[in-house]
């Protein structure tokens, strides 16, 4: 199980220290306390390690890694501890937010060490990255409570001269898959009412959907990413597994607010995928 070597990705060189920010999004890792556990036939720790190898070999000059939820499927302290130790080996800053399979309090307790953090926001040069918690205990779908909406509004208001990237687990717009859209953010109107007041917002980055996705709302890009383990087939009414291998999203944030982004996957599915599973 090796990262793809045949067509290495050549990102543009940084022109100055302040001209370009490089980010990597990893999401929906679904690790377990038991390192031997599999999801639909895939060992999620093995696929996570393979993605981190890809980060190290092709994206080692990144400024930050964004981990956008469903990091540990069973929300176990051991799973988070193992994830943190893997991240720390990259020697890059990592900012994490929870997904519906995570328990935010446990995640915060075991991930917040060294370069791995669960901060509400981080400013890098003339960009602010805002990390929101859209989880609801006991629910698969998402909701931004009043505190999270306040975090969003305050960070945008306090950084009027910074371009903004907003990150959350749940997708804020329908993606055309009925089963997944029933688990989307349930209060997008409140979310976008704030977004629409701040023209510096450039993009919204989400996890949850286990697939490459891009849309545009007004002048704001909506971006989703493949999982580091199983993938969901786009535009299906019911749960359906795609045969695409695990992947990540890379982003380059320019000083003028321009975003370049793309998807990078492993060269092949690392182990046999069990497409017969009816859910996860």
Of the pLDDT bands very low, low, confident and very high (cuts 50, 70, 90), residue 179 is very high
- Specify the pLDDT at position 272: 85
CA distance 249 to 117: 20
Assess whether pLDDT exceeds 60 at residue 122: yes
Of residues 155 and 13, the one with the higher pLDDT is 155
Assess whether pLDDT exceeds 60 at residue 6: no
Per-residue model confidence as pLDDT tens digits over 224-242: 999 999 999 999 999 999 9
CA distance 3 to 184: 31
Per-residue model confidence as pLDDT tens digits over 15-46: 444 569 999 999 999 999 999 999 999 999 99
* pLDDT over 70, % of the chain: 93
Structure tokens at 79: 């799973």
CA distance 132 to 59: 25
- Per the prediction, the chain carries an average pLDDT of 93
Structure tokens at 108: 């915060």
Per-residue model confidence as pLDDT tens digits over 243-259: 999 999 999 999 999 99
CATH of 20-265, one of 3.40.50.300, 2.60.40.180, 3.30.2290.10, 3.60.21.10: 3.60.21.10
- Specify the pLDDT at position 10: 41
- Specify the pLDDT at position 279: 80
CA distance 225 to 27: 7
DSSP 185: B
Nearest to residue 226, comparing CAs of 259, 265, 253, 178?
A: 265
Overall average pLDDT of the 273-278 stretch: 84
Provide the residue ranges of all domains of the chain, joining segments of one domain with +.
Answer: 20-265
């Amino acid at each position: 199980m090796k990262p793809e070597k045949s067509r290495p990705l050549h990102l543009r060189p940084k022109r100055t220290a302040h001209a370009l920010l490089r980010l990597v999004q990893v999401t929906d890792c679904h690790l377990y306390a038991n390192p031997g556990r599999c999801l639909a036939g895939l060992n999620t720790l093995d696929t996570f390690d393979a993605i981190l190898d890809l980060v190290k070999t092709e994206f080692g000059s990144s400024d930050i890694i964004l981990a956008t939820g469903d990091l540990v499927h069973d929300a176990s302290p051991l799973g988070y501890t193992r994830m943190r130790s893997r991240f720390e080996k990259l020697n890059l800053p990592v900012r994490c937010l929870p997904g519906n399979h995570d328990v935010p309090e446990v995640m915060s307790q075991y991930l917040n060490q060294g370069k791995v953090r669960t901060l509400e926001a981080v400013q890098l040069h003339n960009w602010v990255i805002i990390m929101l918690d859209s989880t609801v205990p006991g629910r698969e779908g998402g909701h931004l409570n009043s505190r999270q909406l306040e975090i969003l509004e305050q960070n945008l208001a306090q950084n009027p001269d910074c371009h903004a990237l907003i990150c959350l687990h749940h997708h804020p717009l329908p993606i055309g898959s009925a089963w997944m859209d029933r688990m989307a953010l349930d209060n997008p109107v409140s979310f976008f009412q704030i977004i629409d007041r701040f023209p510096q917002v450039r993009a919204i980055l989400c996890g949850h959907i286990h697939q490459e996705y891009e849309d545009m709302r007004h002048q704001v890009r909506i971006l989703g990413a493949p999982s580091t383990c199983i993938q969901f087939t786009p535009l299906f009414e019911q749960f359906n597994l795609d045969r695409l291998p695990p992947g990540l999203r890379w982003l380059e944030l320019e000083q003028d607010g321009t975003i370049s982004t793309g998807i990078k996957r492993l060269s092949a599915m690392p182990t046999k995928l069990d497409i017969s599973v009816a859910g996860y």
